[in-house]
Amino acid sequence: MGIKERHERDREAVHRAILDAARELFVSEGYQNVSIRKIAERIEYSPAAIYGYFPSKDDIFFALAEEGFHLLSGPDDPGRREYLRSLEPVDRIREMFWHVYEFSREQPQYFALMFVDRYVPRISREYERFAFVRDMKHELIARIQECIDAGDFPSTLDAPVACRMLIMGVLGVAAMQLSDRLGPPEQADVLARDVLNTLLCGLKSGVSLQSRDTLCAVDEAASRATVS
């Protein structure tokens, strides 16, 4: 291995160590309570060394949020795409929103940072960097509209509003589970299934939704919290 390759490998290792340490500290202590100095102490580096990788604490968060949303979107798996296409429209919706709940179980630290901590920066500040998050939202809305067009949901249903209702339902159960309010994890899974199925039944029934077209919660997570 040449000097340049070794240098790049070492730099990547430090970059990863910074992100891992920051993620753990942000979740355990809260974003607003963590400083660059504290992150540096965790990995036994100087604050000046951290600034050589990230200009600010916010930039560390943006890197973690980007990783988290990519994990949420999942790999570009042809097998999964084919599986989703094989499902009936409403079952496809159910599977896609269940995946959001599964993300909270499989990646609890990323979930807590992205959807729970109210003090994280707005990722709308990094508009182009997070364009793929808006694409995720539009895909969910498109699949709901598909159900409307197929007659599975009433024609009066607003797809973005329905998206918001469904995502808020599964994220609510996920947040309660993350804060240890629901008892055994298996019970949380059952509750998440019940919430999702009840919401889908409500949408099928033509229940009147009082809220209006607004940001889907996946998109809200990209812009809702105030900058510390």
Residue 38's H or E segment, with its range, is helix 36-43
Of 15, 123, 18, nearest to 68 by C-alpha is: 123
The pTM of this model reads 0.86
User: What is the DSSP code (8-state) at residue 126?
Assistant: G
Mean pLDDT score, 153-168: 94
Looking at the chain, which residues constitute the CATH 1.10.357 domain(s)? 66-220
Kindly report the CATH class assigned to 3-55.
mainly alpha
Q: Which pLDDT does position 223 carry in this prediction?
A: 45
Can you read off the two tokens belonging to residue 179?
């804060």
Looking at the chain, which residues constitute the CATH 1.10.10.60 domain(s)? 3-55
Least reliable range by pLDDT among 2-6, 35-39, 91-95, 161-165: 2-6
pLDDT above 80 (res 11): yes
Which value, to the nearest 10 degrees, does the dihedral of the CA atoms of residues 94, 165, 194, 96 take? 20
- pLDDT tens across 74-109, in order? 877 888 889 999 999 999 999 999 999 999 999 999
Residue 15's pLDDT band (cuts 50, 70, 90): very high
Of 157, 137, 139, nearest to 92 by C-alpha is: 139
> In whole angstroms, how far apart are CA 133 and each of 74, 99, 118?
12, 15, 19
Q: Which pLDDT does position 40 carry in this prediction?
A: 97
Can you read off the two tokens belonging to residue 216?
């889907």
CATH of domain 66-220: 1.10.357
Contact call for residues 170 and 176 (beta carbons, < 8 A): no
Contact call for residues 64 and 113 (beta carbons, < 8 A): yes
